Amino acid sequence: MTELSVPDTAARSDPQGEASLVHRLRARWPDIAERMLADGLASSAPAGLPDTHFTDDVLPAIHLCGHAVLEAIAADRELTYDEVHAFAGPVAEQHAEDRLPLPVLLLGIHGSAQALLAAAADTARPDETPELVAVGERLLNVLTNINLSVVATYAEVEQSIYRSEREARRELCAALVHGRPVAAVAARADIAIAASYLVVTVRLFAEHADAAAATLIARRRMRVLQRSFDELSATTTPLLFDGVNGVVLMADPPVGDERVHERLDALAVELTNRFDVPVYLGEIGAAPPEGIPAAVADAAELIGLARALDRAPGSYRLDDLLVEFQVSRPSAARDRLAQQVAPLHGQPHLLDALYAHLKHGANRKAAAAQVHVHPNTLSYRLKRVHELTGYDPTDPYQSRVLAAALIVARVPDFRAPVPDVAAL
């Protein structure tokens, strides 16, 4: 993590200079902050959470608040409630939106405070007992203001009109996604139904976590996802998300605007890095309200196709997977296509040779290099494909049949469940 640059006013304000307890605490602060976070989590965090779940939100606040506290002590003044709230409030708001139980957060705060007091005692010299007591008194006052700030923030979030607006839009999104009547829901929420929506499905390919940890992880992801789409659309976006699967409805999208797709594609990559799991988006544009359920199914299918075909995390449109989407539609022809390459199952060397040939076409050297064999060996393997399937990979028409059959064979039943508002 990037170190925070804070002016060294404490050393200048303290008459004892570098010999002072406060100055030595400042010098150790990066290590102390790490210990405070670790001990706070050990006091209260549910088992099963990723090690970095709280790091991005909490550690910067510990760094900044700690420097401010030590500067105030060096200047012989108390930090006001407003000053403390500037550090504690935003973090508490995020935890409240994630529905982290308030007692869990307070236990974590006190675990961190104990780590700080222990570090101060460890840093103090035997002749600095008065200074240590003074530092302890100031830290207890700061802890009191942190507790007051956290409790007040939780109450504000619980009663927030902004939260109510999001819940109303979530309820509207659920009605549209599941094809339920929306007029009454829209009237209660005072929201106009758009003429069309860009339907975006979301899918995270993540491992299952313990129940308590999974709930916190899902709520954090929900908060991050909601804020990301609100920033993208410059409004409160109707969104459903259960921590793994989601649906976003972006009202009245500009038709054919490539920038929207580029921003969604970049967002998928950003979320992949932030959540540390592959994130895929599927886009179906300009869906009227009555067409949203079908658009959700199609967008989810695009994600399944992209994943099954080993595409990288990103945002996928119908134009990105036109052929794959069409040939994978359920039909008698699809089932027959899948049967054509069934004899190749269990023979990965033949499948690899066929994939390489279909990718490189007449360039035998490139295809052979991809599978690390001599061109003659590649030709022999393609001949075996012909013998087993009855289709000649070197024939233009028959190679297209084989390509379609491979797509169908690689694509399982990938339709993802659509989350309802009751699950959030």
Same domain, 293 and 230: yes
**Judgement on whether residues 154 and 201 belong to the same structural domain of the protein:** no
DSSP letters, 22-67, are: HHHHHHTHHHHHHHHHHHHHHHHPPTT--TTTTHHHHHHHHHHHHH
On whether the pTM is more than 0.75, the answer is: no
Q: How many domains does the chain have?
A: 3
Taking residue 197's Cβ as centre, other Cβ atoms within 10 Å add up to 25
Domain presence at residue 207: yes
Q: Is the model's pLDDT at 267 over the cut of 90? A: yes
**Angle, CA 191 vertex, CA 185 and CA 194 arms, to 5°:** 105
Task: For residues 196-213, give the mean pLDDT.
Answer: 83
Q: Which of 295, 328, 361 is the last residue of a domain?
A: 328
The burial of 268, by beta-carbon neighbours within 10 Å (0-12 exposed, 13-18 middle, 19 or more buried), is given as buried
| Residues 25 and 156 occupy one common structural domain | yes
Boundary (domain end) residue, out of 328, 363, 381: 328
Q: How confident is the model at residue 186 (pLDDT cuts 50, 70, 90)?
A: confident
Q: Are residues 103 and 230 in the same domain?
A: no
Q: Which residue has the higher pLDDT, 163 or 16?
A: 163
pLDDT of amino acid 419: 54
For residue 259, what is the domain's CATH number?
3.30.70.270
Return the pLDDT at 51.
Answer: 66
| Residue predicted with more confidence, 106 or 97 | 106
pLDDT at 210: 66
* Residue range 20-45: mean pLDDT, rounded: 85
Do 321 and 385 fall into the same domain?
A: no
Claim to verify: residue 315 and residue 353 sit in the same structural domain = no
Domain around 53:
21-160
Q: Are residues 345 and 380 in the same domain?
A: yes
Q: The domain that contains 366 carries what CATH number?
A: 1.10.10.2840
pLDDT range class, residue 422, cuts 50, 70, 90:
very low
Tokens of 256: 């054919």
The lowest-confidence range among 91-100, 144-153, 287-296, 413-422 is 413-422
Which tens digits make up the pLDDT trace of 120-140? 999 999 888 988 998 899 999
Percent of the chain whose predicted confidence (pLDDT) is above 90: 39
pLDDT of res. 79: 87
Q: What is the pLDDT of residue 144?
A: 93
Q: Which pLDDT value is given to residue 63?
A: 85
Nearest to 224 by CA among 186, 184, 178, 270: 270
Q: Is residue 222 part of a domain?
A: yes
Name the average pLDDT for the chain.
Answer: 85
The pLDDT assigned to 143 comes to 92
Question: 305 and 358 share a domain?
Answer: no
The residue among 312, 328, 344 that closes a domain is 328
Q: What band does 67 get if pLDDT is binned at 50, 70 and 90?
A: confident
Q: What percent of the chain has pLDDT over 70?
A: 88
57 within domain boundaries: yes
Helix (H) or strand (E) holding 287: strand 279-287
Round to whole Å and give the CA distance between 77 and 84.
Answer: 13
Quick check: is 50 in a domain? yes
Give CA–CA dist 87/77, Å, rounded. Answer: 18
**What confidence tier does 17 reach under pLDDT thresholds 50, 70, 90?**
very low
Residue 47 is predicted with a pLDDT of 65
State the average pLDDT over residues 254-266.
83
Label residue 11 exposed, middle or buried (CB < 10 Å: 0-12, 13-18, 19+). Answer: middle
Residue 178 located in a structural domain: no
pLDDT of 16 higher than 50: no
Q: Is residue 1 part of a domain?
A: no
Q: How confident is the model at residue 417 (pLDDT cuts 50, 70, 90)?
A: low
The yes-or-no verdict on residue 88 having pLDDT over 50 is: yes
Does some domain include residue 185?
no
Within this chain, do residues 268 and 226 fall inside the same structural domain, yes or no?
yes
Does residue 183 lie within any of the structural domains? no
Q: Please report which confidence band the pLDDT of residue 255 belongs to, taking 50, 70 and 90 as the band edges.
A: low
Q: Are residues 41 and 132 in the same domain?
A: yes
Is the pLDDT score of 377 beyond 90? yes
Residue 199 and residue 248 share a domain: yes
Q: Is there a single domain that holds both residue 287 and residue 215?
A: yes
Q: Which has the closest alpha carbon to 178: 285, 295, 280? A: 295
Residue 302: predicted pLDDT: 93
Token couple for 169: 């839009």
Write down the pLDDT at residue 4: 36
Q: Which residues contact 247 (CB under 8 A, 6 or more apart)?
A: 173, 177, 199, 200, 201, 202, 239, 240, 241, 296, 418, 419
| Predicted confidence (pLDDT) at residue 13 exceeds the cutoff of 50 | no
Query: At 126, which CATH number?
Result: 1.10.490
Q: Over range 295-308, report the average pLDDT.
A: 91
